[in-house]
Amino acid sequence: MASEQQDTMEVPEVGRNRHLADEILAEADIRINGDRPWDLRLHRAEALDEIVARHSLGLGETYMRGDWDVPALDQFFYRLLKADLPSRIKPWRNTWRILRCYLLNLQSRRRAFEVGERHYDLGNDFYQAMLDSRLTYSCGYWREAETLDQAQAGKLDLICRKLGLEPGMRLLDIGCGWGSLVSYAAEHYGVECVGVTVSKEQSAYIAEHYGHLPITVHLRDYRNLNQPFDRIASVGMFEHVGRKNHRTFMQVAKRCLKEDGLLLLHTIGKNLRRTTTDPWIDKYIFPNGDLPSAGQIGDAADNLLVCEDLHNFGSDYDKTLMAWHQNFEQSWPRFAGQYGERFYRMWRYYLLSCAGAFRARHIQLWQWMFSDRVQGGIARVS
């Protein structure tokens, strides 16, 4: 899939000598100053030294400064990650980042609201321009969809059907975002909903738009939950929980589930257990984020909850991100004065690098179904 929008910055390419970066990128069939959509157009020769020395941070920060461009960033990252180049270049500067993930609890209660303030509170108008009509900031389900709105409605309905929602039930949404799931479940399945979020903007949006529905939203950390619910969902929030808190999350879910209750966990996941968050993503997009591996999720639920089903539709996140990117590009003139060129390049890099990562199967999107030992199990829903 080609990117929907190409770089238009007309900066002359620079003359230079052959560099180590040429050899590294060639392994992914990427040329510096080549003429293909995924080739890197260099505008400042010194940027190559920074990219090689500082790896992911160097690559992202030199792009944000305008030192290089790629007409199709999604294709660039697809090739970069398909060739598994990041795992073969491990600068010593990453040593402390790796150690601190194991030594420190980067997702402690004290830090819990940081991602809300820095990422989700950018402004509801910004996200309304980029996302679907319900502001669903997670992977869509494109099985029978042609548009972003259809894909997100399909995902919300899939969740409701997997949970077997019925009128009179109480649904807890841990990390409820702008209320897409709780509003859909209340409207279409007649359930009472409770949501928790760490974003003031999201909480205010739900209160303003869904006050007529049986929805209650709390601005609080999930670890403070202790009420009984028939069903629990968490969509796109577990990525912020952190490996030191995975077990705690499952313990909270277990204590809040009624007998025969079900938990649906919708999360991005990584292929390898012993890896850390990309340093550029951690610094500029999702502070203190930590993608779980399948093994880590299994460990967290061990002897607490039973895994009833596991559904991977990570390839659908590629389509979702490309749709968000198209909306972002089309609406950018409205926000250029407010956010500026550096933010534009940062956000574009974020959306298209992630699209390339899902396309390369470097990261996944899972929906796990857990129960507290439901007799007879549950039927698979797709």
SS3 sequence, the chain?
A: CCCCCCCCCCCCCCCCCCCHHHHHHHCCCCCECCCCCCCEEECCCCHHHHHHHHHHHHHHHHHHCCCEECCCHHHHHHHHHHCCHHHHCCCHHHHHHHHHHHHCCCCCCCCCCHHHHHHHCCCHHHHHHHCCCCCCCCCCCCCCCCCHHHHHHHHHHHHHHHHCCCCCCEEEEECCCCCHHHHHHHHHHCCEEEEEECCHHHHHHHHHHCCCCCEEEEECCHHHCCCCEEEEEEECCHHHCCCCCHHHHHHHHHHHEEEEEEEEEEEEEECCCCCCCCHHHHHHCCCCCCCCEHHHHHHHHCCCCEEEEEEECCHHHHHHHHHHHHHHHHHHHHHHHHHHHHHHHHHHHHHHHHHHHHHCCCEEEEEEEEECCCCCCCCCCC
Catalytic residue among 101, 139, 256, 354: 354
Asked if 19 contacts 27 with a C-beta cutoff of 8 angstroms, the reply is: no
Closest to 55 in 3D by CA, of 15, 21, 18, 100:
21
d(CA 242, CA 269): 12
Give the model's pLDDT for residue 357: 97
Name the burial class of residue 92, with classes exposed (0-12), middle (13-18) and buried (19+) by CB atoms within 10 angstroms of its CB.
Answer: exposed
Give the model's pLDDT for residue 341: 96
Give the model's pLDDT for residue 107: 40
Give the model's pLDDT for residue 4: 44
Tens-binned pLDDT, residue by residue, of the chain (382 aa)? 444 445 544 445 555 657 888 999 999 999 999 999 999 999 999 999 988 888 899 999 999 999 999 999 999 999 999 998 876 555 444 444 443 434 444 444 444 445 445 445 568 899 999 999 999 999 999 999 999 999 999 999 999 999 999 999 999 999 999 999 999 999 999 999 999 998 888 899 999 999 999 999 999 899 999 999 999 999 999 999 999 999 999 999 999 999 999 999 999 999 999 888 899 998 899 888 899 999 999 999 999 999 999 999 999 999 999 999 999 999 999 999 999 999 999 999 999 999 999 999 999 999 999 999 888 889 899 8
Give the model's pLDDT for residue 214: 98
Identify the sign of the CA torsion 342, 344, 350, 356.
Answer: negative
Active site residue 160: no
pTM of the predicted protein model: 0.88
Residues 6+ apart with CB under 8 A from 363: 268, 269, 270, 271, 291, 314, 354, 357
Residues 6+ apart with CB under 8 A from 211: none
d(CA 125, CA 310): 35
Closest to 30 in 3D by CA, of 358, 348, 356, 363:
356
Give the model's pLDDT for residue 1: 47
d(CA 253, CA 319): 31
Asked if 269 contacts 297 with a C-beta cutoff of 8 angstroms, the reply is: yes
